[in-house]
């Protein structure tokens, strides 16, 4: 290996290599945590999809028994953009892992950084957002975000569920329960809220003299 520019003696060489090794060790540790959190998050999103399929079938039976068409009740996955979607009549909810390009961390109450994979849940079809905004999908996804689940590298560590519509209220969840609790929270928020009619100010053209 060629010598490092600016080194004049063996002492400087030793100190510099020690610093370089520290950087390498840090990045290797980050990479290991990133891989482990990715595996944990993939398992959770797979379980969310299984929950979607179960609930979709339940809804189909419930709605069809009352004469309601179930054509718009289905689940879909798009692996190329790491996204799963559930449609329930006129509502859609989706989850994606696409925002995990490199190791990223959250700061917990002990003020330490923890590398986590983030599963973002949106109201609506997040695959549509991703495909229609190839250069700006991260920002657009966060505009539509309902909540995010942060999945740590250690399976024994708790996930953090940060709920945007509750001013980023934080819920601590065991990884074994995370898929169920995250999915139910997003399902309830998406499908139980009723949209308001759009209103406009009364136009002066309707006033009578």
Q: Give the domain extent around 127.
A: 27-192
Please check whether residue 50 lies inside any domain of the structure.
Answer: yes
pTM of the shown model: 0.87
Question: Rounded to the nearest 5 degrees, what angle is found at the Cα of 169, between the Cα atoms of 166 and 173?
Answer: 125
What is the predicted pLDDT for the residue at 198? Answer: 81
Give the residue ranges of DSSP H helices in the chain: 10-64, 126-132, 137-143, 175-192
Four-CA torsion 158, 175, 86, 187, nearest 10 degrees: -50
Q: Is the pLDDT of residue 203 over 90?
A: no
Report residue 205's pLDDT band, with 50, 70 and 90 as the boundaries: low
Backbone angles phi, psi at 35, to 5 degrees: -65, -45
pLDDT of residue 85: 98
How many residues does the structure list for the chain?
209
SS (HEC) of 17-68: HHHHHHHHHHHHHHHHHHHHHHHHHHHHHHHHHHHHHHHHHHHHHHHHCCCC
HSE of 89, CA atoms in CB hemisphere, 13 A: 11
Asked if residue 201 is part of any domain, the answer here is: no
203 domain residue, yes or no: no
Do the Cβ atoms of 159 and 152 come closer than 8 Å? Answer: yes
The DSSP secondary structure of 148-175, one letter per residue, reads EEEEESSTTSPEEEEEGGGTTEEEEE-H
Tally of structural domains, the chain: 1
- CB 119, CB 95: distance < 8 Å: yes
Determine, yes or no, domain membership for 173: yes
Q: What is the pLDDT of residues 69-128, one digit of tens each?
A: 999 999 999 999 999 999 999 999 999 999 999 999 998 878 889 999 999 999 999 999
Where residue 12 falls among pLDDT bands split at 50, 70, 90?
Answer: low
**Considering only CA atoms, which of 116, 105, 95 is closest in space to residue 173?**
116
What's the confidence (pLDDT) of residue 132? 95
Dihedrals phi, psi of 11, to nearest 5 degrees: -65, -45
CA 9/CA 43 separation, integer angstroms: 52
Whole-number percent of the chain with pLDDT over 90:
78
Please state the φ and ψ torsions of residue 18, each to the nearest 5 degrees.
Answer: -60, -40
Within-domain flag for 89:
yes
């Amino acid at each position: 290996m060629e010598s490092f520019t600016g080194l004049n003696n063996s002492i400087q060489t030793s100190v510099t290599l020690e610093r370089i090794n520290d950087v390498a060790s840090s990045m290797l540790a980050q990479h290991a945590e990133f891989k482990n959190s990715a595996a944990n998050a993939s398992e959770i999103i797979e379980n969310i999809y299984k929950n979607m399929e179960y609930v979709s079938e339940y809804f189909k039976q419930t709605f069809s028994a009352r004469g309601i068409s179930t054509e718009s009740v289905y689940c879909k996955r798009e692996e190329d953009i790491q996204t799963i979607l559930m449609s329930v009549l006129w509502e859609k909810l989706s989850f994606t892992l696409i925002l995990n390009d490199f190791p990223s961390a959250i700061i917990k109450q002990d003020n330490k950084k923890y590398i986590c994979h983030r599963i973002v849940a949106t109201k609506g079809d997040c695959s549509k957002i991703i495909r229609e905004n190839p250069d700006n999908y991260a920002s657009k996804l966060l505009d539509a975000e309902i909540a995010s689940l942060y999945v740590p590298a250690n399976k024994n560590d708790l996930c953090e569920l940060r709920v945007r519509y509750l001013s980023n209220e934080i819920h601590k969840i065991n990884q074994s329960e995370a898929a169920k609790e995250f999915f139910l929270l997003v399902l309830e928020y998406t499908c139980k809220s009723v949209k308001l009619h759009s209103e406009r100010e009364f136009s002066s053209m309707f006033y009578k003299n």
